[in-house]
Chain A
Amino acid sequence: MTKKINRRTFLQSSAALATATISGQGYAQSTSGESPVIGGKFSSPAPIPAKKGPRVVIVGGGWSGLTMAKYLKKTNPKFDVVLLDKNQQFVSCPISNVWMADQVNLDFLTHSYVEAAQNNDYLFLNATALELDRTSKILVTTLGSIKYDYLVVAPGIDYDYNRIGVDNPEDEYALRMNYPAGFSSASEIMAIKHKLHNFKGGTLVLTVPSGNYRCIAAPYERACMAAAIFKKHNIRGKILLLDMNSDIRIKAEGFKKAFAEYYGNIIQYEPSAEINGVRVVDKEIETDFDSYQFDDAVIYPPVRASSIIEEFGLSDESSLQKEAAIDPFKYHLVDDESVYVTGDSRSQPFSKSGNTAHSEARYVAEVISAHADGKQIEWRSPQTMCFSGVRIDPLESMSIIAFYKYDEAEKSFAFDRSHLMDKWNERAGQAGLAWAEGMYRDMFYS
């Protein structure tokens, strides 16, 4: 994935670099007397300016972290906000399926962290979080250690290959390399687009995981987009959609109708395909009752919270997806009100979607701001909103929006109102793109 460096972005990155370098001394002064020592290792302070107010460090510049950084600053301008991401630039997962089918170009998905930080008055660091010392409130990163007053951990998901019977690290590596899932990083998504457009014919397997996986509708949408690509470019391939669930999980009527009406001779849908092993060399997927041969595949295993949740000792032991042990309304760790976990690593059963992460982060920013002022705010439901492309040229989509409520009797969250629009059309196709554009606008440009 390459985006041309133009003069503007080049100047911005060098400006940001300048800020970061000059201010190393500032930090040293501000931390005099504190020695950031973790696990016996000394880690020098990250070269960033001395804090100007309570410092909030955010790990992960995804949908959650970007929104959090902006709204923390907006609700409490005194906060000194530092956003960290291991990647240099943002590439959106939402809309990537329709990008594969050439309905938008790569610029639509790609955005600059430096620009977001400048427009919203926080500091962006291109670094990876490595270790956490909650006693001293220090986060160790690849650029050095950072002392925080509040820490927000929003690192997204990791795949859990164990749950499809792949427990040997070499097999897992082979799967990640050859049959990437395409639900977390830009490089996976690029690889899949290349695969689809260059498919030589035969059977392409796409899988749908079980559990609360990221973006419930997206694997079905991807099947539609892949089939649309085959159709448009006269690629004679069959798509075998192996679903670990007993039925299509969302917009089921709509997807079934679309599969039948447009892609009847391309998509073959197999529900209840409990995958329990993949034989990489033989190109074969095993389920409880069958085995399926493939020529190429996109294998999406079940997901878990990002592995740093576990490595930092933040996960809930009883959680199947190793999600964080947090207060379900306030998002801080059960035993630490200075550390918050949000986005797809949260423990609540909300749909793992960008819109959920965005609306939730706006709320949690207010929670943290209120906490700093010794106040409390009322719980607000996140909103899950999801558009799925069904046809292309022009793009036609379906949509769903859902809110949540807390069920006191069940002691858990349930859907409150929701609205499904499963009669796809061009207007919804445009609305889906407008939705994404609005989100990018909010996170980066306003």
Chain B
Amino acid sequence: MVFKSHSLALLALVLASLLINAVAEPVTIKLTFEPDLKNGQRIYEICASCHLPEGWGNNDGAYPQIAGQHQNVLIQQLLDIRSGQRENPTMYPFVQERTIGGYQSLADVVAYISTLPMHPQHSAGPWRDYSDEYKAGEVLYKQKCASCHGNRGEGNNDTSTPKLYGQHYPYIKRQINLVKSGQRIVNSLMQAVVQKLTDEQLKQVINYISYLPVPEEERAPSLNWRNTDFY
């Protein structure tokens, strides 16, 4: 595995509560960590007991593909799950400091995960590229999603925008349904887009996303590839 070294910036919101009855303004602290990939690998062992050493997720969407995701996106999810902002009761204890460690450990593990090659054959939606539904999804994607998530679904690490290519179709579908029903809180822009689209349109756009190609250099060479750090 090739270890790239990025530095990872973490935004933490700290609510300064004053002794006096004054109204406290939120204080934003920006912290920067140099990830240690070796330590990230060591910590990932805890994650791998569910996410498996490859982090590829499942075709049925029970687990997401986390391999190759932007590190800022991953760390945002870990922090949101840690705080309860993103509801995930079964993962909650794993991301608490007592289990996974402090911010440095989070930085290390997300940096490690972002270096993992992606599933070579993630699961795709029902409509192939010649179908009307696919084409409708493409139009919607370009209108509604591409400005943040990128034309190729590449996302953006700097703005913590998830990479979409490579994600399993049933997983995206489930998450979008949670957003739509208010069970998963996302930023207001994303929230608004999801609310505006009909169920049919959402299905079409998710279908399109599931066919966005994963660049060859980010993909594992075959389904039989195994993460030798753990075997």
A residues contacting B by CB (< 8 A) are 359, 378-381, 383, 385, 387, 399, 401, 403, 417, 419, 421, 427-428, 430-431, 433-435, 437-439, 441-442, 445-446
Q: Closest 4 CB pairs between A and B?
A: A438-B90, A442-B89, A434-B93, A441-B89
A446 touching B58, Cβ below 8 Å: no
Q: Which of B52-93 contact A (CB under 8 A)?
A: 52-53, 58, 60-62, 87, 89-93
B62 touching A419, Cβ below 8 Å: no
B45 touching A427, Cβ below 8 Å: yes
B60 touching A378, Cβ below 8 Å: yes
Q: A380-B60, A381-B62, A431-B99 are in contact. Are A419 and B90 (CB under 8 A)?
A: no
Contacts of B90 in A (CB 8 A): 435, 438-439, 441-442
Q: Which of B84-130 contact A (CB under 8 A)?
A: 87, 89-94, 96, 98-99
Considering the complex, give the chain B residue whose CB is closest to the CB of A400.
B49
Q: A438-B93, A441-B93 are in contact. Are A446 and B87 (CB under 8 A)?
A: yes
Cα(A428)–Cα(B92), bound, Å = 16
The number of residue pairs between A and B whose CB atoms lie closer than 8 Å in the complex comes to 70
Cα(A385)–Cα(B63), bound, Å = 14
B193 at the interface (CB under 8 A from A): no
Considering the complex, give the chain A residue whose CB is closest to the CB of B98.
A430
B-side interface residues, number (CB < 8 Å) = 24
**Contact with B45, one of A379, A428, A438 (Cβ below 8 angstroms):** A428
Counting chain A CB atoms within 10 Å of each CB, the highest count among B60, B89, B92 belongs to B89
B50 at the interface (CB under 8 A from A): yes
Cα(A441)–Cα(B90), bound, Å = 7
CB distance from B144 to the nearest CB of A (A): 26
CB distance from A51 to the nearest CB of B (A): 24
CB distance from B85 to the nearest CB of A (A): 13
Q: A381-B62, A430-B99, A431-B99 are in contact. Are A438 and B92 (CB under 8 A)?
A: yes
CB distance from B39 to the nearest CB of A (A): 12
B140 at the interface (CB under 8 A from A): no
B186 at the interface (CB under 8 A from A): no
B49 touching A441, Cβ below 8 Å: no
Instruction: Given A383-B62, A437-B92, A439-B90, output 11 extra A-B contacts at Cβ < 8 Å.
Output: A378-B170, A387-B49, A399-B49, A403-B58, A417-B52, A419-B52, A428-B46, A431-B49, A434-B96, A441-B89, A446-B89
